[in-house]
């Protein structure tokens, strides 16, 4: 816990230290950018002013800032440019917005928020493409990896929230049909999964925007769900969600002292739409209680919201609907948002036309037409045609001209024909763009299907590969099993051969003693000695058979001290020639089968004592000089020795090594074969490298060495 507190303290200190590094001049720039961001939907012109002021200060001291704090400079230049681009978009000045975005893209240098600022620029550009009815281009711009940025950065969270808002707007207002339904449902699900702890809300202004977009999207889904969804109750489900989001937005406005006209106007228009739906559709009666709550909040905040008309809770008639629309219209006009002013006028006219109130609709349609004409006349000639205001209001213009014709807003036939011609022109342009967008969506759908097919094909190939790999492994395993069986068969044959060899040696070793014991007049002491040797030979033979046959002694791997093995062996050794038997101190620890090691030591020591008539037999152990991972054990004697010609045959079962310099009936072969077998078992069961070897000189003595794995 203390470490965590120290770490957090260090972070706070570094943050404060970083803040202190900024000069008052730089703090002023940062403050202006923050004010531009905070004013984004409250006052577009003030937001532009703050961002422009920040940009001028940055350019004024650019040389010094780039030299001393380039990250601060480029971060704040990009922030100011994006704020200006966003506000110019809201004011429908797309040419300037595009200039701001291009200026941002021209910054080649790296800076901390570069990825996020580029993401915001793409989103603003997508919003412009939607207004220009180039929906497919907006769709392409929104194909972004929204998860490759700073996950907890406020600016990025705002960008992500705007990404969802733009995607919902694109499919809610600029598309129709099954694609609209599918994309809206998909994006709504993404938002619900992504908006952990309300992070997408960022601040109250973005919360209003997101709630409004969700309200409109759910309302749209309620209208079209019957056409694209067979499940019952979807219409009511989405209208309830729509009212729920609207209620959250109005509650938030109730809690905050400041409310932007832009957000309030959007919510009032949506509320008017809900009232219209209630009056026309009985399915929407279930939302009346929530609607009562919303209207009560608005009524209680009439001064803050600017409500100057009567609201009777529970009475949702045509008069209230139109009052809400006119209220929203006045708010849009107050903030001087050209696109929203025209959209608001045409929306009021549409509601009047639906109720066959043509005379009431005319003033709004004529105002919208004259407003568009006045802006179009003031545009300079060298402005790129694509960014002219008449292109950005193409969808609104189509509605306005159609409304003028329906309401017969002029008695002049020529004027009506002119409007009809303009309507046809806008309608044809809209048709071409919508057709192109539909083809784009169809192609995208086909591509997605092809991708699915490719995925299935790839999965099929992988499954086939796995099947072949399984078959290959099976046959390889079977082949390996076959080899193991052959090896086992070979081992069995070797064991049989070992037993046959053992019997041959047994017969050879026992024959002299049996013949000796059959003689008459032999002293009892000599008979007793011969009988002991006969028993020892029999024991050796039994041990050999136990080890050589399949059901022989198991290998029990343990770690033990050699001194313990030496002590155990010393107790059972007979010393017929009374030579000096020496066991050197051996504190070394080894891995192996203690029982088998003791059998081996007994054989080697008995062998050495048998052929040593004077001198000594010494048993010692030490770390193997060539590899410290092993311990070397040596049984050394001063006996008759073995000639060099016979050394290579010592461990072969087909050879019997007779003592060349002794009249003894004994031989070396059996004991050494047994030892070689035990060493092989240790080599197989522990670390590879265990071995046994002999050094000997005739009439000087023999040293038999073997190495075992040391316990590290």
pLDDT tens digits for 584-599? Answer: 999 999 999 998 899 8
Report residue 20 as tokens.
């202190």
- 660 in any annotated domain: yes
- Those residues with Cβ within 8 angstroms of residue 536's Cβ, 6 or more apart along the chain or in another chain: 606
**In this structure, how many other beta carbons lie within 10 angstroms of the beta carbon of residue 254?**
15
- 632 in any annotated domain: yes
Q: How confident is the model at residue 179 (pLDDT cuts 50, 70, 90)?
A: confident
Q: How far is CA 189 from the centre of its chain?
A: 21
Tell me the C-alpha to C-alpha distance, in Å, between residue 412 and each of 358, 373, 418, 422: 17, 19, 10, 16
Cβ neighbourhood burial of 220 (10 Å; 0-12, 13-18, 19+):
buried
Q: Which of 89-98, 389-398, 536-545 has the lowest mean pLDDT?
A: 536-545
Q: What is the pLDDT of residue 657?
A: 45
Give the distance between the most distant pair of CA atoms in the chain.
Answer: 161
- 649 in any annotated domain: yes
Rama region for 15: left / alpha / beta (φ>0; ψ in -120 to 50; rest)? alpha
Domain end, chosen from 112, 129, 162, is at 112
Q: What percent of the chain has pLDDT over 70?
A: 83
- 253 in any annotated domain: no
Q: What is the mean pLDDT of residues 251-260?
A: 89
Q: What is the pLDDT of residue 496?
A: 57
Answer whether 0.85 is exceeded by the pTM.
no
Q: What is the pLDDT of residue 430?
A: 76
- 679 in any annotated domain: yes
Q: How far apart are CA 584 and CA 40, in angstroms?
A: 94
- Those residues with Cβ within 8 angstroms of residue 320's Cβ, 6 or more apart along the chain or in another chain: 275, 309, 311, 312
Q: What is the pLDDT of residue 6?
A: 43
Q: What is the mean pLDDT of residues 637-646?
A: 86
- CATH code of the domain in which 672 resides: 3.30.565.10
Report residue 681 as tokens.
């078992």
Report residue 701 as tokens.
């003595």
Q: What is the mean pLDDT of residues 365-370?
A: 92
Pairing of strands 691-697, 616-623: unpaired
Q: What percent of the chain has pLDDT over 90?
A: 40
pLDDT tens digits for 111-142? Answer: 999 999 999 999 999 999 998 888 889 988 99
Could you please report the per-residue DSSP string of 355-395?
A: TT-HHHHHHHHHHHHHHHHHHHHHS-TTS-GGGSHHHHTHH
Q: Pick the more confident residue, 638 or 537.
A: 638
Domain end, chosen from 87, 112, 137, is at 112
Find, among 394, 169, 177, 200, the residue nearest to 266 by Cα.
169
- 670 in any annotated domain: yes
Report residue 549 as tokens.
């046959």
Q: How far apart are CA 376 and CA 385, in angstroms?
A: 11
Q: Are 157 and 199 in contact (CB under 8 A)?
A: yes
- Those residues with Cβ within 8 angstroms of residue 468's Cβ, 6 or more apart along the chain or in another chain: none
Report residue 262 as tokens.
């832009």
- 702 in any annotated domain: yes
**Taking the alpha carbons of 145, 148, 149, 154 in that order, is the dihedral positive or negative?**
positive
Q: What is the mean pLDDT of the chain?
A: 83
Q: Are 506 and 544 in contact (CB under 8 A)?
A: no
Q: Pick the more confident residue, 431 or 557.
A: 557
- 135 in any annotated domain: no
DSSP-derived secondary structure letter, 710? B
Q: What is the pLDDT of residue 9?
A: 47
- Those residues with Cβ within 8 angstroms of residue 677's Cβ, 6 or more apart along the chain or in another chain: 498, 544, 547, 548
Find, among 278, 173, 275, 192, the residue nearest to 235 by Cα.
278
Domain count, the chain: 2
Strand partners, 581: 617
Q: How far apart are CA 536 and CA 38, in angstroms?
A: 103
Q: What is the pLDDT of residue 513?
A: 66
Report residue 439 as tokens.
């083809």
**In this structure, how many other beta carbons lie within 10 angstroms of the beta carbon of residue 671?**
24
Domain end, chosen from 91, 112, 133, is at 112
Helix/strand/coil percent split, the chain, to 5? 70, 5, 25
- Per-residue 3-state assignment (H helix, E strand, C coil) for 647-668: HCCCCCCCCCCECCCCCCCCEC
Cβ neighbourhood burial of 649 (10 Å; 0-12, 13-18, 19+):
middle
pLDDT tens digits for 14-60? Answer: 444 444 478 899 999 999 999 999 998 889 999 999 999 999 999 99
Pairing of strands 589-592, 558-561: antiparallel
Q: Quote the domain boundaries for residue 64.
A: 22-112
């Amino acid at each position: 816990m203390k470490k965590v507190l120290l770490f957090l303290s260090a972070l706070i200190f570094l943050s404060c230290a970083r803040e202190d590094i900024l000069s008052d001049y730089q703090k002023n720039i940062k403050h202006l950018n923050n004010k531009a961001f905070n004013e984004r939907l409250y006052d577009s012109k003030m937001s532009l002013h703050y961002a422009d002021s920040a940009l001028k200060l940055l350019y004024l001291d650019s040389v010094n800032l780039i030299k001393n704090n380039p990250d601060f400079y480029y971060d704040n230049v990009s922030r100011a440019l994006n704020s200006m681009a966003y506000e110019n978009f809201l004011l429908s000045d797309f040419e300037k917005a595009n200039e701001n975005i291009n200026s941002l893209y021209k910054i080649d240098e790296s800076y901390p928020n570069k990825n996020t600022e580029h993401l915001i620029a793409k989103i603003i550009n997508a919003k412009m493409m939607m207004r220009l009815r180039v929906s497919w281009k907006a769709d392409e711009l929104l194909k972004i990896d929204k998860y490759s940025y700073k996950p907890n950065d406020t600016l990025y969270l705002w960008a992500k929230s705007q990404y969802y808002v733009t995607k919902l707007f694109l499919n809610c207002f600029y598309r129709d049909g099954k694609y609209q339904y599918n994309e809206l449902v998909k994006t709504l699900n993404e938002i619900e999964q992504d908006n952990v702890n309300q992070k997408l809300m960022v601040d109250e202004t973005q919360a209003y925007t997101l709630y409004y977009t969700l309200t409109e999207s759910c309302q749209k889904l309620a209208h079209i769900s019957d056409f694209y969804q067979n499940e019952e109750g979807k219409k009511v489900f989405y209208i309830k969600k729509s009212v729920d989001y609207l209620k959250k937005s109005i509650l938030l406005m109730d809690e905050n002292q400041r409310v932007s006209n832009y957000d309030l106007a959007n919510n009032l228009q949506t509320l008017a739409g809900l009232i219209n739906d209630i009056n026309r559709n009985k399915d929407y009666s279930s939302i009346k209680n929530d609607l009562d709550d919303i209207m009560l909040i608005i009524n209680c905040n009439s001064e803050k919201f600017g409500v100057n008309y009567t609201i009777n809770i529970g009475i949702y008639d045509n008069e209230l609907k139109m009052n809400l629309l006119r209220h929203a219209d006045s708010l849009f006009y107050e903030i001087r948002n050209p696109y929203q002013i025209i959209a608001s006028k045409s929306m009021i006219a549409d509601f009047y036309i639906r109720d066959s109130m043509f005379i009431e609709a005319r003033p709004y349609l004529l105002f919208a037409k004259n407003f568009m004409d006045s802006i179009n006349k003031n545009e300079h000639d060298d402005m790129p045609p694509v960014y002219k205001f008449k292109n950005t209001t193409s969808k609104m213009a189509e509605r306005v001209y159609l409304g003028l014709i329906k309401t017969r807003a002029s008695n002049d036939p020529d004027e009506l024909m002119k409007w009809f011609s303009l309507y046809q022109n806008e309608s044809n342009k809209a048709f071409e763009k919508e057709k192109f967008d539909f083809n784009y969506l169809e192609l995208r759908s086909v591509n997605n299907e092809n991708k699915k097919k490719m995925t299935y094909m790839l999965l099929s190939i992988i499954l086939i590969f796995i099947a072949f790999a399984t078959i290959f492994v099976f046959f390889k395993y079977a082949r390996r099993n076959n080899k193991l069986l052959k090896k086992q068969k070979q081992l069995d044959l070797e064991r049989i051969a070992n037993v046959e060899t053992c019997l041959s040696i047994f017969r050879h070793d026992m024959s002299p003693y049996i013949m000796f014991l059959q003689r008459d007049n032999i002293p009892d002491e000599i008979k007793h000695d011969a009988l002991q040797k006969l028993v020892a030979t029999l024991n050796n033979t039994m041990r050999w058979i136990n080890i050589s046959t399949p059901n022989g002694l198991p290998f029990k791997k343990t770690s033990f001290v050699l001194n313990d093995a030496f002590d155990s062996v010393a107790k059972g050794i007979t010393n017929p020639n009374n030579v000096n038997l020496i066991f050197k101190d051996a504190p070394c620890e080894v891995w192996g089968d203690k029982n088998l090691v003791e059998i081996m030591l007994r054989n080697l020591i008995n062998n050495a004592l048998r052929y040593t008539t004077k001198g000594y037999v010494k048993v010692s152990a030490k770390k193997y000089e060539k590899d410290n991972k092993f311990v070397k054990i040596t049984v050394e004697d001063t006996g008759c020795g073995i000639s060099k010609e016979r050394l290579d045959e010592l461990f072969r079962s087909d050879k019997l090594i007779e003592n060349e310099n002794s009249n003894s009936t004994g031989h070396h072969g059996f004991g050494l074969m047994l030892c070689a077998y035990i060493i092989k078992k240790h080599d197989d069961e522990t670390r590879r490298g265990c071995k046994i070897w002999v050094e000997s000189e005739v009439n000087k003595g023999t040293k038999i060495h073997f190495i075992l794995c040391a316990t590290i």
